[in-house]
Amino acid sequence: MLGSVFLAAVLLASSPPPPPPCDAAMQVCDVIDPATGKVRVWPKDVAKFQTDVETCIHFAGEEPYDAARRRQINAAIRRFCGPADRAAGPLRKKYAGNPPVLDRVNAIQALKESAL
**Number of residues written out for the chain:** 116
Range(s) of the domain holding residue 43: 20-115
Q: How many CA atoms lie within 13 A of 33 on its CB side?
A: 14
Phi, psi of 41 (to 5 degrees): -95, 120
User: How many distinct structural domains can be found in the chain?
Assistant: 1
Residue at 8 is within a domain: no
Residue at 101 is within a domain: yes
Residue at 13 is within a domain: no
Residue at 10 is within a domain: no
The rounded distance, in Å, linking the Cα atoms of 103 and 63 is 32
pTM to 2 decimals?
0.68
What was the pLDDT predicted at 4? 44
**Tell me: the pLDDT tens digits for 62-87?**
999 999 999 999 999 999 999 999 99
Using CB atoms within 10 A of its CB, is residue 105 exposed (0-12), middle (13-18) or buried (19+)?
buried
Residue at 73 is within a domain: yes
Asked if the model's pLDDT at residue 7 lies above 70, the reply is no
CA angle 94, 85, 34 (to 5 degrees): 75
